């Protein structure tokens, strides 16, 4: 186990099952969780979630559900049955859809297990500045829109939100200590942002109040993924000790 790694989910954004399991085998002893997103789910199918859960690994299923309530309820039910620890929905889907996701997550959970934490996506980390207005016709800036959606998600019963590290501090104040805050867009100091715009280091995100960090390419594409994970975990520990 690597101290601090328990607060990191490594994104398995790879094209197939073999690549995903190779990364899991390498990094699971460190104590991190793993994120299964749309690319891997489409390539390997939901059996992979069940396989990881059977190994007692924490699986963050990041599919950003956004559909009519009945469809979302069924999808959440199926993902909970597979063993998801966390799953995501778009808060923009509205109150009824969120209620359906929460109901489905409870219905699909096996007896004696905790239902997955249902997390609301606020604003994608790939959007910044006026991009939100151009992409979705939203006149507010990303930070204001993230706060509006986070407040709605809390009122509708979500366990927490997924937000950029730049909004963590303000959303922690807004939502209080009980809300779970998960932050993608984590980059090592000095690394490029790539296709994400609103990014920060692991230390900055934790110091601002993040509970969990999602890290993909900085670990996955590193020459030594375990060393890259250990370096990020060390940042988490140092930030938590401040």
pLDDT confidence of residue 70: 98
* 64 noted as active-site residue: yes
Summarised one tens digit per residue, pLDDT across range 73-121 is 999 999 999 999 999 999 999 999 999 999 999 999 999 899 999 999 9
pLDDT confidence of residue 126: 62
Q: Residue 1 carries which DSSP code?
A: -
Choosing from 7, 58, 64, 198, the catalytic residue is: 64
pTM: 0.88
Secondary structure E strands in the chain: 8-11, 33-37, 59-65, 86-90, 117-121, 160-162, 180-183, 212-215
Taking only Cα atoms into account, the Rg of the chain, rounded to an integer number of angstroms, comes to 17
Domains of the chain: 5-241 (3.20.20.70)
- Is residue 140 pLDDT above 50, yes or no? yes
**Which one, of 170, 130, 177, lies nearest residue 149 by Cα?**
170
Query: In the chain, what percentage of residues exceed pLDDT 90?
Result: 76
Query: How far is residue 219's CA from residue 202's CA, in Å, rounded to a whole number?
Result: 12
**Which one, of 174, 167, 45, 158, lies nearest residue 97 by Cα?**
158
Number of neighbouring beta carbons within 10 Å of residue 74: 15
pLDDT confidence of residue 143: 83
Query: How far is residue 179's CA from residue 144's CA, in Å, rounded to a whole number?
Result: 18
């Amino acid at each position: 186990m690597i101290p601090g790694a328990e607060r990191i989910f490594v994104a398995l954004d790879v094209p197939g099952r073999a690549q995903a399991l190779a990364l899991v085998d390498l990094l699971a002893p460190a104590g991190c969780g793993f994120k299964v997103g749309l690319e891997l789910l489409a390539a390997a199918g939901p059996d992979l979630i069940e396989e990881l859960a059977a190994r007692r690994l924490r699986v963050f299923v990041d599919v950003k559900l956004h559909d009519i309530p009945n469809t979302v309820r069924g999808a959440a039910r199926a993902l909970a049955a597979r063993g998801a620890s966390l799953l995501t929905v778009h808060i923009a889907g509205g109150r009824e859809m969120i209620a359906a996701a929460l109901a489905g997550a409870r219905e699909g959970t096996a007896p004696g297990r905790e239902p997955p934490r249902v997390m609301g996506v606020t604003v994608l980390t790939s959007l910044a500045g006026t991009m939100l207005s151009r992409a979705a016709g939203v006149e507010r800036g990303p930070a204001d829109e993230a706060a509006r959606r986070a407040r709605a998600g809390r009122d509708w019963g979500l366990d927490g939100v997924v937000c950029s590290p730049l909004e963590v501090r303000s959303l922690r104040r807004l939502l209080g200590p009980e809300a779970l805050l998960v932050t993608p867009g984590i980059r090592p100091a000095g690394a490029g942002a790539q296709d994400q715009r609103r990014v920060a280091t692991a230390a900055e995100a934790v110091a601002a109040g993040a509970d969990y960090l999602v890290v993909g390419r900085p670990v996955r594409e590193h020459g030594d993924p375990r060393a890259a994970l250990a370096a990020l975990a060390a940042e988490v520990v140092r930030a938590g000790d401040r």
